[in-house]
């Protein structure tokens, strides 16, 4: 069984659809890391934080930094995929 996808890369909508198809594996890898490993990574980082510094430690910022790190690791630029 074969499937062939064809895109007109001169058409902006087709170009966007092409980028989405090309980046689908990278997006799946990033989502895997976020759904399977992010909690464990942050729990470990929070546990290493001294109790005195935890008031200054912003967990929400850490979550978003980590997600952005996964996006960069897998070269996902959302602006290229969503118009």
Domain ranges of the chain: 12-81
Enumerate residues 6+ apart whose C-beta is below 8 A from 41: 66
pLDDT at residue 30, as a whole number: 95
Output the pTM of the full model: 0.74
pLDDT, position 59: 77
User: What is the reported pLDDT for 11?
Assistant: 97
Confidence of residue 51 (pLDDT cuts 50, 70, 90): low
Q: What is the pLDDT confidence band of residue 43, given thresholds at 50, 70 and 90?
A: confident
Q: Are 42 and 2 in contact (CB under 8 A)?
A: no
């Amino acid at each position: 069984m074969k499937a062939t996808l064809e895109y007109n890369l001169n058409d902006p909508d087709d170009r966007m659809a092409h980028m989405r198809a090309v980046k689908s594996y990278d997006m799946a890898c990033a989502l895997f890391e976020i759904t399977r490993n992010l909690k464990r990574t942050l729990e470990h980082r929070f546990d290493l934080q001294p109790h005195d510094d935890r008031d200054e430690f912003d967990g929400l910022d850490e979550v978003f930094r980590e997600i952005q790190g996964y996006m960069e690791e897998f070269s996902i630029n959302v602006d290229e995929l969503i118009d």
